[in-house]
Amino acid sequence: MSFLALIGDVPDRARIDEAIRDVLSRAEFRPHEPTWWQQFTGWIGRILAGALGRIVSWIDLDTAVGKAIVALLVIVLVAIVVHMIWSLVHVGERAKPKGPSAVLDATLPAAGAGTRELEEARRCAASGDFAGAMHALYRATLFWLDERSLVRFEASKTAGDYRRELKVAESRRSFGSMVEAFDPVAWGGRAAAPAAWERMRAAASALGDPA
């Protein structure tokens, strides 16, 4: 038996080229795309470098005054860049949406915490504080799930993290429905209406939490 018979049909050049193109089109072989921050800093750098070059060309660098002016300009430009970076970082920190820590204490829930939060949710709802009721019910549900080892409570986790931990599909759907009612109030700034509270309460009840 010949060697070609052992290995089967040899692909032609077109198939080889197609296979190579398919491999090279994968993400790991594509050139790295610069981030928006890298593009922005590069653009700022080019503008400042061009401006500094034009200004320096007008200054007589052979004199002490000219050298002092250039040094002052460099210091001013560095200060401007540092201020811009600081401002962007500061604004970015302020613009970050409040995370779970705004709703949850970072410590692990104590025994019976779910029951206490559920009582708080009912008390808030009875007094017309539906936003407080929804926040308390969210905490109560997480604590209730943690007590039954259905999820592992961590204040840094998102609702999506908890939803993925739930192994039963029906539980994931109920938890998702509860979060859909809660998120616009918790993070979207929407007013907590009685209807939103009822939707969240019904979803928590379907999950098994005795809301």
Chunk the chain into consecutive blocks of 10 residues (it has 211) and report each block's average pLDDT, rounded to whole numbers: 49 66 57 69 77 73 75 77 70 45 52 83 92 91 88 87 90 90 85 90 83 61
Tokens found for residue 77 = 């430009």
Range of the structural domain that residue 41 is part of: 36-95
Residue 173 inside a domain? The answer is yes
- Do 91 and 105 reside in the same domain of the chain? no
- Do 86 and 108 reside in the same domain of the chain? no
pLDDT at 12 (0 to 100): 63
Residue 86 inside a domain? The answer is yes
CA 32 to chain CA centroid, Å, is 22
Among the candidates 77, 95, 113, a domain finishes at 95
Q: Give the Cα separation of 106 and 157 in Å (integer).
A: 10
Residue 52 inside a domain? The answer is yes
Cα atoms in the 13 Å half-sphere on the side-chain side of 63: 7
pLDDT at 24 (0 to 100): 59
pLDDT at 99 (0 to 100): 41
Residue 192 inside a domain? The answer is yes
pLDDT at 33 (0 to 100): 63
Among the candidates 47, 74, 95, a domain finishes at 95
- Do 82 and 108 reside in the same domain of the chain? no
Among the candidates 95, 124, 145, a domain finishes at 95
- Do 105 and 169 reside in the same domain of the chain? yes
pLDDT at 88 (0 to 100): 66
- Do 105 and 80 reside in the same domain of the chain? no
pLDDT tens across 106-122, in order? Answer: 455 666 777 888 899 99
- Do 186 and 130 reside in the same domain of the chain? yes
- Residue 206's contacts (CB-CB under 8 Å, 6 or more residues apart) are 174, 177
Residue 4 inside a domain? The answer is no
- Do 140 and 190 reside in the same domain of the chain? yes
- Do 56 and 80 reside in the same domain of the chain? yes
pLDDT at 127 (0 to 100): 93
pTM score, two decimals?
A: 0.49
pLDDT at 123 (0 to 100): 93
